[in-house]
Structure 1
Amino acid sequence: MIVPRPLRASIPALAVALALAGCASVQQRAPIDINLVALNDFHGNLEPSKYTYTDAVTGKKESLRAGGIDTLGGALAAWRREDKDLLLVAAGDLIGASPAVSSMWADEPTISALNMLGLSVSSLGNHEFDGGRKELLRQQHGGCDSPRPSKACQLAPNFGGAKFGYLAANVTDSATGKLLVPAYRIESVKGVKVGFVGAVLQGTPSVAVASAVAGLSFHDEAESINKVIPEMRKQGAQVFVVLIHEGGKTDESPDKVGCERLEGAIVPIVQKLDPAIRLIITGHSHQGYLCNVDGRVVTQAASFGHLLSRIKMTVDPATGGVQGIDVRNVVMKEGDFAPDTRLTEYVASVKERSQAALARPVARLGAAPILRHQNEAGESPLGDVVADAVVAATRAQGVQIGFMNGTGIRKDLEAGADLVASFGQAQAVLPFGNTLVVMDLTGAQLHRLIEQQWDRPAASDPIVLQVSNGFSYAWDSSKPAGSRVVPGSVKLNGVPLEDAQTYRIAVNNFLAEGGDHFAEFAKGTKRIETKIYDLDALIDYLAKNPGVGAPNASLAPSVRIQKVR
């Protein structure tokens, strides 16, 4: 057979073309999917609890039991069968403000359970600082040398610490300038290097006990994150994911993809981040959302393990370019996933060790639950009870007025069918282990203190102070911040306060040190550190006042806070 000359001449060219095509097929691999699951604000909730949300499709409110570490473990096991390279990551507050089954053991059960889940990395949250720097580092590295010796290593003699890594690019030692924990970690996933960089809200000192963060500096979140991106690139990072314990709020459903009405502290942070960062996993505000902010995906999975965020990043493996991000918030409804039996058995063993203390009856209520939800004026039934308990516990020190920060009341006060509340149920209300401080403030200072409720930087809720019986005031929402208290309305036992007169008050040590931006508390004089725990004060008050919570009982307080418009 005679091959025509043109074709014969093209054979070498064809061979070269085929060879080049083969090289291109090696270099231009198909996009890959990197699967992440995100958790935030777990707060030691090893067991399921009530979750209420608005359905994105129907617009109706739904309430159900969700969460539980064994349900989370079951969901992760199912998803890892789909992708063995899936990574579990978190955005802080995994511990602290925890139910008694975790907090009574220094949150070691939660750390151990998260290890069993296979958590890879988490940003620090403000509650990781609850026990101070020393305890935070013990939680990370293990050991028994703790400022809480009555709790640490009591569940088991050897605590190995977190197998996952805590990250924070914006927390340094004030004296040395060195980072408290690493800023970032790079994980190799399907041949792509993914860099996770962590941060905690710069305002942590305002929401932590001052002594717990002494000697630490908290820097601008976006600047700190952006600063380490070049270093991460040098180490081969191709994809960048931010884990940050700061968040926002939206009126959109937690399962609405691409929400556009996100507001709050996280938004300006996101807007300042390096353009290479396409995914920001957030926390702190306890909201579920899947939002877009300036072309970036910003997620949060509510709190207490009620949701998990499933995130699929489609990536060019050669360049690391993110071609798409698919996100969903999945409700961890009981029964939707086969529980992880290892975790079920682990929690059962911890509960068995804890049962005697948790089940101890402390008081009979008049009605249950006593709710922490605040009315339009800012007053809640449970806030009234706690503030009254603060005064009752410190009456011997001459206390006339008690205050409680509403954000420190973590759950409603529940009780059994017989209306008897247990120690565990009371502890869930006040889980921080705060102590009471007595001080003097003038009438003028108390006026300024009340006004500060609406004039605080980074305030997530405008009303946070619950007040004791006999103390009352009215406020006007139509007035500007700083001038909302109705003149002459601030009274003690029906008598208007006098600016120059001194009043004896009691608060927890968090507020006493100026927490939540209430600077006036830090200026109080003639201070006494009572060493009385707020939880002990509440339990003692409940025991001495059976019937608390009954709507028509003689113990029911009169209205203390009024909103005139």
Structure 2
Amino acid sequence: MFKSKSKRHMAGAAALAVVTMAVGAWSWFPGHGPGHGHGREVDLQLLAINDFHGNIEASDGLTYEVDGEEVSAGGAEYLATYLEEAREGEKYSTTVAAGDLIGASPFLSAAFGDEPTIESLNAMGVEVSSVGNHEFDKGIDDLYRHIEGEGDYEGAAFPFLGANVVDEETGEPVIEPYWIKKFRGGVKVGFIGMTLEGTGDIVAKSGIEGIEFLDEVETANKYAKELQRKGVNSIVVLLHEGGYPVEEDTGHDCESLDGSGVGMSGPIVDIAETMSSKVDMIVTGHTHQEYVCSVPDPAGQPRMVTSASSYGRVFTEIEATYDRRTRDIVRSSVTGSNTVVERDVEADQVQSDLIAGYQDEVEEVAGRKVGYIAEDITRGATRAEEFPLGSLIADAQLDRTADPDIGGAQIAFMNPGGVRADLLYDEGEPGVVTYAELYSVQPFNNYLVTMDLTGEQILTLLQQQLPSEDRGTTLFLQVSEGFTYTWDTSLEGADQIVADSLMLNGEPIAADQSYRVTVNSFLADGGDSFYVLAEGENRLFGEVDLVAFEAWFGENSTPDNPVEAPETGRVNLI
């Protein structure tokens, strides 16, 4: 079922690591194979990306492993070239995306409200995208700004789709649910776009008041029927939810570019296995993984499920035959491959000019010195561990809200997913932290919120770090200096957080005593399934987290007294 191939997109380029999968294990029917039908069939091409996150610049930090070696990868200038080369000779081609195109973006895009990214994607030829959770980072109104434009900003030239993003009173979508690509000769392909059902738990609730996110399968099935009533039988779902390649054989026939994945786990498995057979393929995202998989649909037929990693470092190419008589995709014809966007091709000039224009405007702000570090201060390898940069942010947030007049905080917690980059000593001028670097660490513009929590609620908060029905992974909250506890992995469930081990400055945390706790506004709303934080009382809103971090560096670092990486061990993990 699988075969490997090498592919050149430009003369002189190195061979690219590409995996191809043919979906379909049954016999060919007359007229349904490639080259048959005498004009009844046409060759479709879908090019797909996901989780771009505003990475328009070809930064040194963007790499991908190819043949066991880390190579520079990504950058809009090179992604655009790869896509254009892939489209050559294809009369029935469209370029699609599966959400998180904006949000959690590097400084160059974020400094201009992600307008550079939308302009880049317009020029790149993206024709449709689902929304992802990060499209809601600044609330629904900001998403509408990108959809409709504002002033001189024209917004997206392509539709954002959100079939399962609905008004909680009417149940009607607040964003277009689907889009129909109309090719020449009456060939039509319908695209249903959705974000994960759990989006409301991982974005700030203040920006999505009155909106709810519905079940992905029920929503897809509903609109697949509606598309078929309109005469559109070839249907693709763009879904911002995904899975993980695994080494064991799960019966899902997956393969990754590095050859590590043969099976699949994660939320997408159940979704793909139960979504209507009317859907011909599913393009996914959210997990930042790379895979091309075959997952049986409810009728037992293989159906392609793909994902193209993240940050524009990989793109997916799907090829399929469309039968004009049935007005549908011939499922047995579908093949898919992922390609690494190496920087061994000519940069797209339109993208280069766009990026250069914004770089000229942002240079003065980006280079402003905000502090000094003595060494690298880094994130963890995963979000399930304590790491120095998380501890430092928690310390800074505690310091900025400790004064009784501005919070009276005693403890601060930081979510690991909110730390988006490392602070590196040799980045730019050695030891100097610039505003752009600080922004890359905390790009979400959350407010600091200080609230009352009882000791019992703090214990519940720590227990909510563990996997649950709403979140299948462990998230390790980063804690401020002076707060400690024991996490015993030999125990079961919530008992892993040893209840009588919680200490503040050497004193036991009392279950019935109230404590002042600072978190960012995302967490304060119960984000990342830390629901107990939504119960916090006597809330006081403070500075934007980035403003607080910059001010802390200004007060606590000099060239002669740079900041050192905090030691880990505040959590006694056994």
Task: Give me the whole-angstrom Cα distance separating, in 1, the residues matched to 2:112 and 2:138.
Answer: 13
Task: Give me the whole-angstrom Cα distance separating, in 2, the residues matched to 1:328 and 1:437.
Answer: 45
1:7 corresponding residue in structure 2: none
- Equivalent in 510, 514, 517 of residue 529 of structure 2: 517
- Equivalent in 189, 192, 195 of residue 183 of structure 2: 189
Q: Residues 437 and 258 from structure 1, CA distance in 2 versus in 1: closer, same or farther, beyond 3 angstroms? A: closer
- Unpaired runs of 5+ in structure 1? 1-20, 145-157
Displacement of 1:545 in angstroms is 3.0
Task: Give me the whole-angstrom Cα distance separating, in 2, the residues matched to 1:66 and 1:266.
Answer: 26
SS of the aligned residue for 1:119 comes to: coil
**What code does the residue aligned with 1:48 have?**
A
1:344 corresponding residue in structure 2: 352
SS of the aligned residue for 1:356 comes to: helix
Task: Give me the whole-angstrom Cα distance separating, in 1, the residues matched to 2:524 and 2:546.
Answer: 17
SS of the aligned residue for 1:274 comes to: coil
1:333 corresponding residue in structure 2: 342
Deviations 1:357-386 (A, max 9, x none): 011111111113x21115797101111111
* Residues 7-406 of structure 1: pairs in structure 2 closer than 5 A: 29=39, 31-49=41-59, 50-51=61-62, 60=68, 62-144=69-151, 158-189=152-183, 191=185, 192-251=187-246, 254-255=256-257, 259-294=261-296, 295-319=302-326, 320=328, 321-335=330-344, 337-368=345-376, 370-374=377-381, 378-396=385-403, 397-406=407-416
**What code does the residue aligned with 2:226 have?**
E
- Equivalent in 539, 543, 546 of residue 554 of structure 2: 543
Q: Is the 8 A contact 1:391 1:402 kept in 2?
A: yes
Deviations 1:302-334 (A, max 9, x none): 111111111112333332233322211111111
**What code does the residue aligned with 1:281 have?**
V
SS of the aligned residue for 1:482 comes to: helix
Q: Residues 497 and 202 from structure 1, CA distance in 2 versus in 1: closer, same or farther, beyond 3 angstroms? A: same
4+ residue runs over 6 A deviation: none
Q: Residues 461 and 407 from structure 1, CA distance in 2 versus in 1: closer, same or farther, beyond 3 angstroms? A: farther
Q: Is the 8 A contact 2:467 2:473 kept in 1?
A: no
Displacement of 1:274 in angstroms is 1.1
Displacement of 1:66 in angstroms is 1.4
Displacement of 1:471 in angstroms is 1.0
Task: Give me the whole-angstrom Cα distance separating, in 2, the residues matched to 1:489 and 1:84.
Answer: 65
Task: Give me the whole-angstrom Cα distance separating, in 2, the residues matched to 1:261 and 1:48.
Answer: 32
Q: Residues 466 and 26 from structure 1, CA distance in 2 versus in 1: closer, same or farther, beyond 3 angstroms? A: closer
**What code does the residue aligned with 1:35 have?**
Q
Q: Is the 8 A contact 1:366 1:546 kept in 2?
A: no
Task: Give me the whole-angstrom Cα distance separating, in 2, the residues matched to 1:317 and 1:466.
Answer: 56
SS of the aligned residue for 1:311 comes to: strand
Matched, 1:459 2:471: yes
SS of the aligned residue for 1:498 comes to: coil
Q: Is the 8 A contact 1:469 1:557 kept in 2?
A: no
Q: TM-score, normalised by structure 2?
A: 0.86
2:490 corresponding residue in structure 1: 478
**What code does the residue aligned with 1:323 have?**
S
SS of the aligned residue for 1:454 comes to: coil
- Segment of structure 1 superposing worse, 258-267 or 465-474: 258-267
**Identity of counterpart residues, as a percentage?**
38
Displacement of 1:261 in angstroms is 1.9
SS of the aligned residue for 2:171 comes to: coil
Deviations 1:211-261 (A, max 9, x none): 111111211111111111122112221311110011111246632689542
Q: Is the 8 A contact 1:316 1:323 kept in 2?
A: no
What value does the CA root-mean-square deviation take over the aligned residues? 2.4
SS of the aligned residue for 2:52 comes to: coil
Task: Give me the whole-angstrom Cα distance separating, in 1, the residues matched to 2:545 and 2:134.
Answer: 18
Q: Residues 256 and 418 from structure 1, CA distance in 2 versus in 1: closer, same or farther, beyond 3 angstroms? A: closer
Q: Residues 460 and 64 from structure 1, CA distance in 2 versus in 1: closer, same or farther, beyond 3 angstroms? A: farther
2:567 corresponding residue in structure 1: 557
**What code does the residue aligned with 1:85 have?**
Y
Task: Give me the whole-angstrom Cα distance separating, in 1, the residues matched to 2:213 and 2:243.
Answer: 19
- Unpaired runs of 5+ in structure 2? 1-30, 248-254, 297-301
Task: Give me the whole-angstrom Cα distance separating, in 2, the residues matched to 1:375 and 1:117.
Answer: 32
Q: Residues 547 and 405 from structure 1, CA distance in 2 versus in 1: closer, same or farther, beyond 3 angstroms? A: farther
- Segment of structure 1 superposing worse, 194-203 or 43-52: 43-52
Task: Give me the whole-angstrom Cα distance separating, in 2, the residues matched to 1:222 and 1:529.
Answer: 38
**What code does the residue aligned with 1:245 have?**
H
